[in-house]
């Protein structure tokens, strides 16, 4: 990529959940020195950046997503100096550093909220969302917390309710107040001045609420619920029309983008949880005055089928314009993808194959990618016994929903008692099966998920079409998923068999030889591709055989033809430096 300030385009970002990555101090909780000690491992994976979940001072009721100081480091994770050393070492290894900013809400122990709740007249009285009870004393409206129950909690000091989209100890800031917006922008500037390369923005569509406080409507029959919200959570029964994703949000994103533009080479990636997340992703990233990119929960909620994944990709492309996506299959909030994609089909024994397939498929998509720690090992969801659960979300909805602890257990570095993560009892137990999938064991196995992931990421980085080439969905049968990645001078066809049976397909004219094979056993002969169960193939295609104008002209659907014209337009007129794709 010719412009170094655009490093994030086509990048692979490795998410670190600091409590569970590496404990350097031996107290059972991961820390910043532990991350620094493992940066060589991360760099060797072939990723471009790390995203570190919150490490700010916090009472840890939601494990760091309840902040009491936006400019510090919680002693649990180390010192401010430890973070500076981490930043310096990462940059020395060529890794960008992205930190998690939780701007929409604070801890109820933050001094802003302590002052705000003390009276209705103090200087920060309107820094949070306060509202009077209804005449019968009930909450102002029917808004629900993402963690179940009402989004309102009564405070006896003010005799008002305050809004919290998550736990009651996470009051929402009032972004309608200019002073709040300025303070949060100043907090972002603090870390930019320190040298961080960007921000992952937690709940980036939750900053504003409707001032009229209207009731949310019930979710209509056939309407899509917010992805990844379990059916046992009443949050899934509302259409979230007034509590989140308000038009004013775009104004703040523009203010934030203006700040980022003062620091060339920095970026933002927003988390979006919404009833219509793909459209929201496009709305929040299109143009040059909003987020650089965003990701949604669509792939966290998706069934493991070619048709469903094809629908998600096509749906995004149809609305995308010049928006740049960021895709992820796992993170610290959802069941790990290997378990999610094998649980309903009784395919647990196929976990290693599914893990490899999922990773290379994700990293073949158009856009940027997030890999969650342990995903490169193919870790399944850990089995955490009830007496060891700590996640308030899971404790509130047990037993139908077991919460997020199963994806947050310690990283297994070795097969020892505590997985090489710590020398004492860890904050969450190390799953016995995870120890058998440890980094130590997989490095010694050339066919392991870790070794395949490393080799694929390094190969991907050397292929221009795979990094930021246009993606054109292929026309395969229902059991196969595939697409062309096309840059000015290169074309690669990626095909994936998402079933437990061998599949065959004829490849289009111009298809040549398989160009990436490590970890997979696809076979190509006389234009016929054979894909065993859960296998992938990457095939060279003669770039000269791809005529964008012909692809547009042969499309019968007028709306689809317009979409293809937008998608392929830049491909027809790129300069040698590689114009922006898509």
> Residue 17: which of 83, 93, 99, 80 has the closest Cα?
99
Is residue 413 within 8 A of residue 420, CB to CB? The reply is yes
For residue 202, indicate whether it is catalytic.
yes
**Unique residue bearing structure tokens 């830049």:** 570
Rounded to whole angstroms, what are the CA distances from 100 to 182, 285, 364, 405, 465?
A: 18, 18, 25, 19, 30
For residue 513, indicate whether it is catalytic.
no
Q: Which two tokens stand for residue 499?
A: 């079933």
**Unique residue bearing structure tokens 């570095």:** 413
Rounded to whole angstroms, what are the CA distances from 348 to 230, 323, 337, 451, 514?
A: 21, 36, 12, 21, 29
DSSP label at 479? T
**What is the rounded (10 degree) CA torsion for 425, 431, 433, 435?**
-40
Neighbours of 105 (CB within 10 A): 28
Q: Which two tokens stand for residue 419?
A: 């997985």
DSSP 3-state percent helix, strand, coil across the chain (nearest 5):
30, 15, 50
Can you give 330-367 as a three-state secondary structure string? CCCCCCCHHHHCCCCCCCHHHHHHHHHHHHHHHCCCCC
Is residue 73 within 8 A of residue 32, CB to CB? The reply is yes
Neighbours of 120 (CB within 10 A): 13
Q: Which two tokens stand for residue 176?
A: 């309608």
Reading phi first (left if > 0) and then psi (alpha if -120 to 50, else beta), residue 510 is in left
Can you give 210-279 as a three-state secondary structure string? CCCCCCCCECCCCCCCCCCCCCCCHHHHECCCCCCCCCHHHHHHHHHHHHHHCCCCCEEEEEECCCCHHH
User: Catalytic: which of 262, 288, 387, 509?
Assistant: 262
Residue 125 CA to residue 117 CA, distance in Å, equals: 7
Is residue 126 within 8 A of residue 174, CB to CB? The reply is yes
User: Catalytic: which of 202, 274, 381, 391?
Assistant: 202
Residue 213 CA to residue 211 CA, distance in Å, equals: 5
> Residue 434: which of 412, 449, 417 has the closest Cα?
412
Annotated catalytic sites, by residue?
202, 262
């Amino acid at each position: 990529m010719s412009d170094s300030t655009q490093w994030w385009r086509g990048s692979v970002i490795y998410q670190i959940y600091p409590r569970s990555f590496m404990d350097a101090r031996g107290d059972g909780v991961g820390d910043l020195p532990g991350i620094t000690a493992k940066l060589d491992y991360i760099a060797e994976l072939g990723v471009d950046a790390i995203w570190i979940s919150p490490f700010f001072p916090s009472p840890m009721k939601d494990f760091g997503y309840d902040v009491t100081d936006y400019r510090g480091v919680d002693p649990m994770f180390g010192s401010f100096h430890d973070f500076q050393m981490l930043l310096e070492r990462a940059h020395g290894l060529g890794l960008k550093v992205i930190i998690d900013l939780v701007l929409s809400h604070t801890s109820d122990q933050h001094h802003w909220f302590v002052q705000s709740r003390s009276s209705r007249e103090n200087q920060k009285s309107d820094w949070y969302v306060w509202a009077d009870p209804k005449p019968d004393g009930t909450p102002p409206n029917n808004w629900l917390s993402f963690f179940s129950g009402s989004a309102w909690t009564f405070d006896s000091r003010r005799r008002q309710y305050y809004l919290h989209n998550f736990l009651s100890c996470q009051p929402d800031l009032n972004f309608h107040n200019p002073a709040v917006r300025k303070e949060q922008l100043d907090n972002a500037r603090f870390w930019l001045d320190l040298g961080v390369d960007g921000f992952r923005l937690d709940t980036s569509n939750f900053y504003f609420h409707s001032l009229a406080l209207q009731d949310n409507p019930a979710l209509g029959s056939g309407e899509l619920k917010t992805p990844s919200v379990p059916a046992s959570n009443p949050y899934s029964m509302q259409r979230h029309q007034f509590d989140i994703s308000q038009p004013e949000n775009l104004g703040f994103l523009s203010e934030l983008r203006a700040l980022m533009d003062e620091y060339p080479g920095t970026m933002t990636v927003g988390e979006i949880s919404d009833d219509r997340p793909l459209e929201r992703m496009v709305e929040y990233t299109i143009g040059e005055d909003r987020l650089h990119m965003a990701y949604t929960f669509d792939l966290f909620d998706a069934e493991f089928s070619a048709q469903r994944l094809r629908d998600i990709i096509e749906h995004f492309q149809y609305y995308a314009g010049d928006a740049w996506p960021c895709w992820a299959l796992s993170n610290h909030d959802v069941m790990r993808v290997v378990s999610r994609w094998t649980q309903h089909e009784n395919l647990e024994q196929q976990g290693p194959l599914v893990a490899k397939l999922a990773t290379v498929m994700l990293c073949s998509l158009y856009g940027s990618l997030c890999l969650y720690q342990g995903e490169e090992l193919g870790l399944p969801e850990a089995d955490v016994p009830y007496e060891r659960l700590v996640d308030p979300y899971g404790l509130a909805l047990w037993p139908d929903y077991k919460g997020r602890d199963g994806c947050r257990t310690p990283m297994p570095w070795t097969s020892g008692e505590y997985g090489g993560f710590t020398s004492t009892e860890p904050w969450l137990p190390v799953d016995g099966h995870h120890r058998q999938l440890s980094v130590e064991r997989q490095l010694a196995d050339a066919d392991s998920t870790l070794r395949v992931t490393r080799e694929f990421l390094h190969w991907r980085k050397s292929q221009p079409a795979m990094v930021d080439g246009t993606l054109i969905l292929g026309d395969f049968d229902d059991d196969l998923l595939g697409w062309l990645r096309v840059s000015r001078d290169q074309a690669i066809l990626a095909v994936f068999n998402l079933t437990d049976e061998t599949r065959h397909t004829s490849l289009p004219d111009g298809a040549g030889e398989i160009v990436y094979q490590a970890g997979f056993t696809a076979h190509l002969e006389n234009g016929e591709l054979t894909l065993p169960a859960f296998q992938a193939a990457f095939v060279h295609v003669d770039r000269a055989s791809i005529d964008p104008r012909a692809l547009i002209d042969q499309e019968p659907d007028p709306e689809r033809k317009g979409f293809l014209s937008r998608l392929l337009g830049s491909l027809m007129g790129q300069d040698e430096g590689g114009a922006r794709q898509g």
